[in-house]
Structure 1
Amino acid sequence: MAARGPLRYALILLAAIVPACAAALPADFVYLRDIDPTIIQDIRYAGSNNFVGRPLPGYEAAECIVTRDVALRLKAAQSGLRPRGLSLKMLDCYRPVRAIAEMLAWSQDGVETTAGRRYNPRIAKQDLFRLGYIAVRSGHSTGAALDLTLVELAADNSAVFDPAKDYADCTAPVALRAPEGSVDMGTGYDCSDVKAHTAAQDLTPEQRRWRNELVAVMARQGFVNYAGEWWHFSLPGTGATTYVFPIRPRR
């Protein structure tokens, strides 16, 4: 059967720009680690701890790549957090277009998985794009959108994700969810649920405080939060060009 709708659009877009792929980063892109190595990174689509349950195409290394302007703004945010015993933690940065095409194909394959239900407890996977939880054209592919959280450096953040463990879904209490090594924002990262909306009501005072803190920290550097996801921020007025170059290890 021929691809239709959003899937057809994604495949056409991917086919059109693949020939432009190059090994080197485009001139305005940098590895965040080269600008500020103190910012913690946990690039989730480079591993299995995500809603697809496997690394996505284009994520050949767990590295945050962003535009230089974004990187410098993140460095400034981090400089204000470190003296307070806090750190930014990057969960996704630049996202190759090919990874979005894979997300779309996964959403339409008709197979519900354990990983998928952990992240999408009340929504069928085929509805994620229609409801706006995943976008066919993502600001991540321009290098100007980010997914991130906050970490208390003095806390015990040693727990690691065990793919064999039966974790509760992303809306459950933090002790039952898959570990993220971060403060408790009320849901896990990439949670497709109304509780993940930044201004959701079903939160404890501490969870609300952490969300407000993250929004304020990023706003001071010019970033705008997407109301449907407490973790997602973008920098207005940046370029609209999307890219497909792979995320490769730093040289």
Structure 2
Amino acid sequence: MTSERDLVKIVVIIVAVLGLVSPVLALDLPGGFAFLRDIDPTIIQDIRYAGANNFMGRPIAGYGAAECVVKREVGLRLKAVQQELARQKLSLKMFDCYRPVRAVADMVAWSKNGTETAAERRYNPAFSKADLFRLGYIATHSGHSTGAAVDLTLVDLTADNSLKFDPAKDYADCTAPVAVRAPEGSVDMGTGYDCSDAKGHTAASAITPAQKRWRARLVAAMAEQGFANYSKEWWHFSLPGAAGPAYDFPIGRAR
């Protein structure tokens, strides 16, 4: 029979082991940065570059956890946006936040690897991935690396958002109707996230009136808190004045 003293020893050992493991799994952030979930846990997170549901089809360098990390000021403003949206039964959904410099380098190397799969072409159906940087769809020096830029969309909390991405399914490209492209559990903005195409430009004309209204609603909600949209990506917003140096610390899980 295990004595009370033995049980105490076991507990001490477990605590000690967890103390050794947690620095590997968790992350101490540089000053000024914060986990968005610590600021507002109601904001939905779907951090694409931490998994396989993205234009590279695999986790991208530096994304050790599916966590949104931002400058604290950015997070507080996102919280204010979320509070206003909640009154309309809507929510923000984060696709990408802080992006390590090593992730950008990974993207550059991927664009030059000389191969292109059908799954990759879903994100840039009109041209080769080698042209993504030249055409301004991916930056070699990303504002995301400063913690002041985010990629996001809107979720209608009254809708059925249960459809999930299936990596084994052959989806249509990102410009196709919402019923046949990869599901995102969000409102229909006219294209999928990270769609490198003219149809993904915020002011694109080749989308429906309803899709235009959703984009305008997102831009207006973000502008209320000072965020500026990037014209070639309806999902990309930055906070002027919040950017600083680019960082390369890896993304780990929140403590």
Calculate percent identity across the aligned residue pairs.
71
2: CA distance, partners of 1:238 / 1:76: 16
Contact 2:123 2:174 in 1 (8 A): yes
3-state SS of the aligned residue for 1:189?
Answer: coil
Structure 1 segments (4+ residues) deviating >3 Å: none
Q: CA deviation at 1:239?
A: 3.0
Spell out the pairing of 1:95-244 with structure 2 (5 A cutoff): 95-244=99-248
Tell me what 2:92 maps to.
Answer: 88
2: CA distance, partners of 1:115 / 1:28: 37
Tell me what 1:53 maps to.
Answer: 57
Q: Could you list the per-position Cα deviations for residues 203-231 of structure 1 after superposition, in whole angstroms to 9, with x for gaps in the alignment?
A: 11110000000000000000000000000
Contact 1:187 1:195 in 2 (8 A): yes
Q: CA deviation at 1:54?
A: 0.2
Contact 1:50 1:115 in 2 (8 A): no
2: CA distance, partners of 1:160 / 1:50: 14
Tell me what 1:65 maps to.
Answer: 69
Tell me what 1:38 maps to.
Answer: 42
- Provide structure 1 residue ranges, at least 5 long, that are not aligned to the other structure: 1-22
3-state SS of the aligned residue for 1:225?
Answer: strand
3-state SS of the aligned residue for 1:206?
Answer: helix
The Cα RMSD (Å) is 1.0
3-state SS of the aligned residue for 1:34?
Answer: helix
Q: CA deviation at 1:88?
A: 0.3
3-state SS of the aligned residue for 1:91?
Answer: strand
1: CA distance, partners of 2:187 / 2:144: 23
Partner letter of residue 201 of structure 2? H
3-state SS of the aligned residue for 1:195?
Answer: helix
Q: CA deviation at 1:240?
A: 2.6
1: CA distance, partners of 2:233 / 2:85: 22
How many residue pairs match? The answer is: 230
Q: CA deviation at 1:107?
A: 0.3
2: CA distance, partners of 1:117 / 1:102: 18
Contact 1:146 1:234 in 2 (8 A): yes
Q: CA deviation at 1:238?
A: 2.1
Greater C-alpha radius of gyration: 2
- Structure 2 length-normalised TM: 0.89
3-state SS of the aligned residue for 1:89?
Answer: strand
Partner letter of residue 83 of structure 2? S
Contact 1:44 1:92 in 2 (8 A): yes
- Provide structure 2 residue ranges, at least 5 long, that are not aligned to the other structure: 1-26
3-state SS of the aligned residue for 1:231?
Answer: strand
Q: Could you list the per-position Cα deviations for residues 75-111 of structure 1 after superposition, in whole angstroms to 9, with x for gaps in the alignment?
A: 0000001121100000000000101101000000010
1: CA distance, partners of 2:190 / 2:46: 19
Partner letter of residue 127 of structure 1? D
2: CA distance, partners of 1:239 / 1:85: 31
3-state SS of the aligned residue for 1:140?
Answer: helix
3-state SS of the aligned residue for 2:233?
Answer: coil
- Structure 1 length-normalised TM: 0.90
